[in-house]
Structure 1
Amino acid sequence: MTPLPIARWLGLLLAPALISTAGAEPVDIRQGESNGSGYGFRRGDNCLVVTAGHVVAETGADITVTDRQGGKATGQRIYYNPSRTEDLALIELPARSVVACNDRWPDASEVAPAAAAANAPFEVVRHYPGGRETIVRLRAAGGTSQWHTLAFEDKLRIIQSDSGSIVRSNGRFAGIVVSVREADDRVDVLRFDVIDRLVGDRFRTVVRGVPVALEGVKQRGRVNPNWTTYVASWLSESAGRPVVPQQDASARCRIGVDVIEWARSRVDNPEYDKLESALRACTQGVSIGGVPLGLKLPGTDRASCQRQVRERMRGVPRVLPSHKLTLNVTMTPRQRAPVSKLQTTEHVEDGSKGGARAETELTVLQQSFAQVAGELFSAGACE
């Protein structure tokens, strides 16, 4: 057998490190002391950068986005989800910025199927100024319906500042890096099908709503930056109304939100009450109408019945957190008098789901604001 020339051998050995990433639009992101990575996608004349939410967690602070060739622009956070299950953000760059951004949002055929993740290889490309790259290979090591948990294949590593980097599997988008766990040497990746569900529509459809300016969400006269971000996310993501700075002449109206009262309490959990009734039924030897006990009553001995019901009661809280939120929402059109609506809404948390306070506040505030603002929008208050 004729030996291969040394140049050919070198080519075979180095081929994995020279995989083409043509069309890729990775960027570096900095906000204050925080830095991470992201990936730009073209939407009309603008560029939207996908990254992890914690990379740009500071409300109101400048966000600087830099591409591999040094092109730089200041962006605006237009979507922010800080929850533990969906740590995601979108940054919008000004039209015709110098940052390279030509990729389109992937369609379904370009997204790695989650079902194939167990046996599929993964890779993250670390990018350096001037275009140099290092490919870090990973493999599946667990996961959930929201996440891939990955382990490193060799000695090459990524670090926490790589948060927001795109992860690929067999050439397809698999997700973005959210955290690098030093304790067990694992990488948490938010799956791309989840990302597509959360923000994909804004790349596929044209926003129909008119721009609005958000004056802020206030309590006792002071703006709460986090609450303001939650409401801005609902306006742009759910209502389809781009949020622009207050001085922007394109804003159809200004929106102000005052939190008059946010009362927190606890209420009885109806699911727990049903199970308590079922437990009493074990002693009485009767069934409870409408309650799917899954028990053979009468005919099942009392001890066995009680054991089955108590097993079901494990993990079911006796009471649930409840929120009573009173909001005053004011919409001020450009050429008409302000229109305000004061409304109180109640929200009971789902006992089957745990969540950090920030995640709970996001959900409750968005739901309450959606009810009030939805009625004002429908009445033409912002037209």
Structure 2
Amino acid sequence: MQRAPTIKAALSCFALLILAQASPGNAGPLAITSDDSQGGGYGFRIGQQCVILTAAHVVEGKGDMVVADDRARVTIRAGEWTPHSDLDIAYATVAAGGIPSCVETFIDPTWTRGFDYRANSQALLLHRTSPTALRQVPLRVSESHTSGFTFSEQRKGTVATGYSGSMVLMNNRPMAIATRLDAGRGEVHATSLLTALQLWPAIFQPDGLRTRIALLPVMFGRARRDDWNLLAVKALQDKPNVQLTYGADAQRACAIGLTVTKLDRTYRANPEYTNHRKNCANASKNVLMRLVCPAQPPLRYLYDYSVAYTVQTMKPGGAMRVSTPSFAFTIKADSSPARELENQVFEASVSPSVDRALQEGGCR
């Protein structure tokens, strides 16, 4: 039987943290235990692998670790964890079917861009001892730095319970990996997931791919921020030196031109449009974009780009409606001569969720 960790051990070694309940369809929280330790983790399905993220100190020097959700468990050997050289995070991979709750999860960098880390009114969804014991606790950020953020509860007399390695979620969305608790100040230290993506993109690169794949946010027309959909963009396979990854700071966007050279998609209202029902006829699902870089961009620097293009839709009676959807992504020049990035062409494939968004947002 697993021995429960003492309060002292939990405070000093396995940083107490409240873990938000994952919404259906997202990757799930995991328990990571050994004979003498207990921590938390989070699983993302990437291709045929389940990538398990946790705090490095949870697994370093601890021997075999059992990773479990509420339906299954797998054992990960000591040498199978890969810690980051600078951040207190580590990952391991298992077969996707080994952890049932490890399903495909889209990580949208814009989820945290609207979050004011200096404000006192922001909140995270938290739970204590059971998934049903949810409550919303106001949090404030006392400091921020390159490796993560520090959260602390404003409510006096309460101490969060949980374990290091657990994923901090905002509105049920992955945000940061808990690494430490300052019990005296009531502060939870966490490594931003965007920081992990930026500094350690290999975690999210499936084996066998020559180019990295980024999942991008797309907002159409009147869609609310929470309704942003995702556009999967990949570099063409004949350009292996160009990698797609996430940028963590939209304010540092580089003034490099990115233009849509082809938008082969047509939306027309059904001639039998009745009762104000939305009905669109979709054409091709490919968008070709051309990236134009300056002569000598700084290498190994993350650039953020935003793209806006026009969607024309025909309303009943022949009235034309024009909307301008937009999305953003980041290009990283990885030891590639600048000339190899000039006039680069990328292909964007629109996912079914984007199709639905276009139908709902464009065909009114």
Calculate the TM-score normalised by the size of structure 2.
0.45
Which structure has the higher relative contact order (CA within 8 Å, separation 6+)? 2
Which structure features the higher share of helix residues? Answer: 1
